[in-house]
Structure 1
């Protein structure tokens, strides 16, 4: 599965459940200090930086003068005070929010090295505390990258956390904040359904051109924003928000890619860490386990589950996986018509991966979708792919996919097209069942702005205890990532959940839920605690 589909859009599952139950970086002056606080490291980054990236195949077009919605003039004043002097004006939220929810907008520098330049708009939602004494604000993020975070405020499990204001925000580039603007409608349909596993030179050339054209569409629609949408930009935004709500220390809960934001916040601002919990950790420790291996494990668990229940896909795990890969192979040759659209191999793979994020109590839907598609009805599997891709019934898309690629490709250097193909071969080695359907990820090698790699390593020296939660059966962020993050963070505490699904807090484990609540309201759990 291409990398654009391999970092979890956790909230797509989490919110649905609640409703129903990655050339040099632009140089400049150091990030200015905020009044009353210590600045980040002198160069605006961590002490240990990654080597200068090469990214040999990225195009270098001129940056157009595009202004996405929400790019505005900076607030009145001069220097950092123009940002830190803002007042949060909480008011009514858009339709669909919980009745008690309050919403606000604030401005942050488009370019954190130019605090007198233009601004981006950040959108926030707050669920106010209902118990005293007040413990401040708990910021929450659902992952991505690219996932809007404001809706999570209303869906986040807050039993036992009623002393906190729960605040979710749409990170820059996403949702109601200043968004990345890319291809839309049918152009997005084409981009997200193109054959990811080219069988020859013509299909390979078409896949390369698709990624190049998509990146150019994002540059045409987003302009300078594409240069300032990194995780470190979001970390600095988060620190601005912490100050604006009046908290000296940050309380934060992040799922999936949200663990990247949280751990890198702790690296940049260790003295401002209050309570940070990170669930479904991403790979900050250099683990050699690839993400697709996590999905392969989840597929194996599903196949066993399915065979034991005598599902319609086979009586043995091998037969079940054979039914799924057989469907993929058949769709590569002949897609299934679904209305005025069709279910092809790419979309079928997306739909299956979508359900491998879920805990086992959702696997009946996956079994039914594959069984129906094998019988010629691809509607359910196509709906699952659309849900993952954030495609509405009218053919429109939200900001998730564009922001995912934009953030990821700014965050990480690449080894070009050849490097993408080497990685695809390694995915096949680590995941021989699903790896062949992943294909080479050409998005970042052809992205139209140079990367700004995140500093390494993440150790957060001197930070207060940081809780890292890992699920042994996690598909999107393999358990090894959580172990590596907890070990690498100087104050990391590992909480293990022996179960399935992507992330654990807010799910069926009362043990995990109680440990998280206890961490935010009292002492942290013992390191290496296991919830079964």
Structure 2
């Protein structure tokens, strides 16, 4: 899931909109960090040398047999009978040359873009076919304040969040001796991106009832997911077969090579930890200083899922709400707040609330609640005001706005690329057992998340996707340098247990725990976390394993 930077931006947009209305008007303020940089005229057409990387070029081919693979099931319901369309118009010709030399001989030409430097570079659609079509990656760089000793690559999560947008508010000054690069992954943002169809197609998907109560509703949900998957194939063609995290990890190794670094320095949040762990598995000897913050589950453990994390985080909010009186007039105990919210969500299932020609459904309301939970305690007053407005006054516009912000729907009704990229990447990265298994397991997940579990739903998009999953790597990163794993005890989107599991499974994993709420220990955490991360990335000082901040 996306990092706190993007959600903080959502909160800024939310407050900007709500401040023009009568309610809700919580008093918590939010500010976006700004990053200074050289002027456009000073940054044009800079091409770094690659002397250091000449002895460490990207590996030409990916051999899944060289890695331990998890036994991944094959869904009997994936629509792989839908082949890629004739989609030459999606791609460009490969650069001049032959084989990998087409790419290894290139340099990055940076140009000024406001306070930063930007560049577009070609990479193969399929790294195993460098003579085939090419796609484009969009990069943004904040140069080091002095002489750069390395480059720090950053990723905000998603999958599908914009690395370029992350850089806009990233604390680059904390890594003053690094060039910092955020890039839009293949399939996302300003890079060659997945397109799943018109705004109506996207609206139709997100308006589906993701919490079916009977066979007719299940059939409607599955039919809608199949229609969406076919639309993605029709609009994106064979790009859908080449946006896995393995593909992106190979892009990242190429970027490391282009900037002239023998080792990769990297900070990834949420899904960005999956990308980091994948890179470390594929290229353990090339790991420099790697920070994996708010980690996804790369293990075979399945006791704590994301929906459980959100439900648990809602419980923390409910305890707070119960002590706030009229400011959160929902209940006087955690149980009361949970009961009232569950009743509200259940009513929406049959009777959505009209909002300016649209509807706040049960699923969209739960998504709106989840949006606020990403930011932990600082967002509690916003969530309280939005719930009170909807539950007491029938004004559901704020929850719908929050849901739109998290889903990627703009005020003008158009959708950001993350809405298409998220399923495209996710459905290549994960194997599945098919629709029958999903229906068997969903009630078990609901029982673990009694307030939000049903409303957050069971979307069968991947079960009916039109591409087969990528190889399922069992990641240990044997031989990698120390990898710093951060976990927040009150993380809603990537529950804390997942950080402990990742740190245990990665051979060189070092766990640092932040006792706090919200998604991203680096962005939301205390000075103890900041000092540990900065000391590690800037000076190579590895924190003691199991440090608690």
TM-score, normalisation: structure 2: 0.89
Describe the SS at the equivalent of 1:481.
Answer: helix
Superimposed CA distance per residue, residues 245-272 of structure 1 (whole angstroms, 9 cap, x where no aligned partner): 1111000000000000001101110111
Map 1:374-413; keep pairs closer than 5 Å: 374=391, 375-413=393-431
User: Which residue in 2 is equivalent to 1:483?
Assistant: 500
Structure 1 residues 9 and 215, CA gap change in structure 2 (3 angstroms): farther
Structure 1 residues 38 and 408, CA gap change in structure 2 (3 angstroms): closer
User: Which residue in 2 is equivalent to 1:76?
Assistant: 96
Pairing partner for 2:85 from 37, 40, 64: 64
Pairing partner for 1:270 from 284, 290, 313: 284
CA contact (8 A) 2:151 2:259 kept: yes
User: Which residue in 2 is equivalent to 1:315?
Assistant: 332
Pairing partner for 1:306 from 279, 300, 321: 321
> Which structure has the highest helix share of the two?
2
Partners of 2:521 and 2:410 lie apart in 1 by 28
Map 1:348-497; keep pairs closer than 5 Å: 348-374=365-391, 375-456=393-474, 458-497=475-514
User: Which residue in 1 is equivalent to 2:274?
Assistant: 260
Describe the SS at the equivalent of 1:506.
Answer: helix
Query: What is the CA distance between 1:338 and its match in structure 2?
Result: 1.1
User: Which residue in 1 is equivalent to 2:355?
Assistant: 338
- Runs of at least 5 residues in structure 2 that lack an aligned partner in the other structure: 13-29, 34-52
Superimposed CA distance per residue, residues 219-254 of structure 1 (whole angstroms, 9 cap, x where no aligned partner): 001111101110000000000000001111000000
Query: What is the CA distance between 1:290 and its match in structure 2?
Result: 1.3
Partners of 2:305 and 2:190 lie apart in 1 by 32
User: Which residue in 2 is equivalent to 1:88?
Assistant: 108
User: Which residue in 1 is equivalent to 2:543?
Assistant: 525
Describe the SS at the equivalent of 1:252.
Answer: strand
Partners of 1:488 and 1:272 lie apart in 2 by 19
Describe the SS at the equivalent of 2:512.
Answer: strand
Residue 8 (str. 1) matches residue 12 (str. 2): no
Structure 1 residues 36 and 135, CA gap change in structure 2 (3 angstroms): closer
Residue 193 (str. 1) matches residue 210 (str. 2): no
Partners of 1:175 and 1:118 lie apart in 2 by 19
Query: What is the CA distance between 1:449 and its match in structure 2?
Result: 1.3
Superimposed CA distance per residue, residues 150-209 of structure 1 (whole angstroms, 9 cap, x where no aligned partner): 111221112331111110000000000000011221221121021111122221111001
User: Which residue in 2 is equivalent to 1:179?
Assistant: 193
User: Which residue in 1 is equivalent to 2:157?
Assistant: 143
Structure 1 residues 112 and 35, CA gap change in structure 2 (3 angstroms): farther
User: Which residue in 2 is equivalent to 1:504?
Assistant: 521
User: Which residue in 2 is equivalent to 1:30?
Assistant: none
Describe the SS at the equivalent of 2:300.
Answer: coil
Two-structure CA RMSD over aligned residues (Å): 1.9
Query: What is the CA distance between 1:276 and its match in structure 2?
Result: 0.4
Structure 1 residues 415 and 513, CA gap change in structure 2 (3 angstroms): same
- Runs of at least 5 residues in structure 1 that lack an aligned partner in the other structure: 1-6, 22-32, 94-98
Describe the SS at the equivalent of 2:354.
Answer: strand
Describe the SS at the equivalent of 1:208.
Answer: helix
TM-score, normalisation: structure 1: 0.92
Query: What is the CA distance between 1:436 and its match in structure 2?
Result: 2.1
Partners of 2:89 and 2:355 lie apart in 1 by 34
Describe the SS at the equivalent of 2:494.
Answer: coil
